[in-house]
């Protein structure tokens, strides 16, 4: 029980959060758009861009781990066991999650306490959808690997 509901979400969530963070960092660094979600989240609490990284990383990784439990539960309900289908469905869930998140982010961005994050345009939304798809693909692949390793991932409902 602890493996399925505690350890797997922690492991998978951490790895997938590294994935989404890396994608958004890369998009931000190449200059395509402002996609520094870690600092945006952190600066919501610190009210400062300069002090936001550490707080943003903590919040981002905790959220990524918690949300991974939801993804893993959805995948277990669907009873997918091969890595191709779990990866694909994980990507679909990531797309839905990213679309919903991006829609909300664009609407509330102007309320952000730090000027750098008060504008979220179409490019920012697309960047976040891509990041969430990456997160879902990684979680789906990890779920498939867990299933291949013989870990019981059947739903507990």
132 Cβ contact partners less than 8 Å away, ≥ 6 residues apart = 20, 94, 95, 97, 98, 99, 101
Residue 26 pLDDT greater than 80, yes or no: yes
Tell me whether residue 157 is in a domain.
Answer: no
Tell me whether residue 51 is in a domain.
Answer: yes
Tell me whether residue 40 is in a domain.
Answer: yes
Tell me whether residue 155 is in a domain.
Answer: no
Write out pLDDT tens, residues 28-69: 999 999 889 999 999 999 999 999 999 999 999 999 999 999
Number of domains comprising the chain: 1
9-26 burial: b if 16+ Cβ within 10 Å, else e:
beebbebbbebbbebbee
Tell me whether residue 93 is in a domain.
Answer: yes
Tell me whether residue 31 is in a domain.
Answer: yes
Name the pTM for this structure. Answer: 0.93
Residue numbers of the domain that contains 6: 2-148
47 burial type by CB count under 10 A (0-12 exposed, 13-18 middle, 19+ buried)? exposed
Write out pLDDT tens, residues 5-18: 788 999 999 999 99
Tell me whether residue 153 is in a domain.
Answer: no
From the list 133, 135, 136, 126, the residue with the least C-alpha distance to 27 is 126
Tell me whether residue 154 is in a domain.
Answer: no
């Amino acid at each position: 029980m602890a493996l399925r509901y505690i350890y797997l979400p922690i492991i998978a969530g951490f790895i997938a959060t590294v994935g989404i963070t890396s994608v958004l960092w890369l998009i931000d660094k190449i200059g395509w758009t402002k996609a520094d979600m870690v600092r945006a989240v952190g600066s919501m609490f610190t009210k400062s861009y300069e002090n936001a990284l550490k707080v943003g990383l903590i919040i981002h990784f905790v959220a990524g781990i918690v949300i991974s439990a939801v993804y893993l539960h959805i995948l277990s309900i669907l009873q997918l066991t091969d890595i191709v289908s779990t990866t694909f469905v994980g990507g679909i869930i990531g797309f839905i999650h990213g679309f919903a998140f991006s829609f909300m982010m664009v609407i509330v961005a102007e309320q952000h306490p730090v000027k750098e994050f008060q504008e979220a345009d179409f490019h920012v939304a697309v960047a976040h959808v891509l990041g969430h798809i990456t997160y879902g693909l990684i979680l789906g692949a990890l779920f498939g690997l867990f299933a291949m390793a013989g870990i019981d991932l059947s739903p507990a409902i």
